[in-house]
Amino acid sequence: MSKTYTVLNELLVELFNDILMIEQQALRSKDFNDLSITEIHTIEAIGMYGDKTMSEVAEKLNITVGTLTVAVNNLEKKGYVERRRSEEDRRIVYVHLTNKGKLAYRMHEKFHSAMINEVVEGLTDEEEKILISSLEKLNNFFKQRLKKIGGDV
């Protein structure tokens, strides 16, 4: 038990650190090296299809709308996203990806799929199942935690 704990803990901690670093480095070396991780995640949250309001995107990213405003200003300046004021309700601002933004989106998606593919490739069916169910458990644990301490606010 105690040994399992130590091993698992170290594995998980390392995993998180590595993924963060890899995403960062993947960005630096490729095209789109004028994008930070945060910006890629903003692009991800805006998504490929249709427009999203500022509030929707901010909620998805768990940041304030003020923070998002700044982020979108910069992304707009660099040509990855565009704003559009709603005609029906002129308080609302919609954002969507430009073609350049969509390219960046796909690139990041590709990185993710390469990562997953390579992981799954090395696993047997049994290992695959265990991995998925363990990650699900981990996820449930976190969801519960989030509810307890105050949820999405």
Please give the C-alpha separations between residue 25 and each of 11, 82, 112, 120, in angstroms, as whole numbers.
21, 27, 14, 22
The one segment of 14-22, 51-59, 66-74, 90-98 that binds a second copy by CB under 8 A: 14-22
Among residues 57, 34, 37, which one has the least CA distance to residue 47?
57
- Binding string, residues 125-144; x marks residues near a second copy by CB under 8 A: -xxx-xxxxxxxxxxxxxx-
Instruction: Please tell me whether residue 55 binds DNA under the rule CB under 7 A.
Output: yes
With residue 84 as reference, give the H or E element that holds it.
Answer: strand 81-85
Instruction: Tell me which of 6, 9, 17, 69 binds DNA, using CB under 7 A.
Output: 69
Say how far apart CA 72 and CA 42 lie, in whole Å.
Answer: 8
* Residue 34 or 128 having the CB closest to DNA: 34
The answer to the question of residue 98 lying near DNA (CB under 7 A) is no
Q: Name the residue with tokens 């993710």.
A: 112
Stretch that binds DNA, among 9-17, 49-57, 118-126, 130-138 (CB under 7 A): 49-57
**Contact of 43 with 104, CB cutoff 8 Å:** yes
Indicate whether 145 belongs to the interface with DNA (CB under 7 A): no
- Minimal distance, residue 111 CB to DNA, in Å: 17
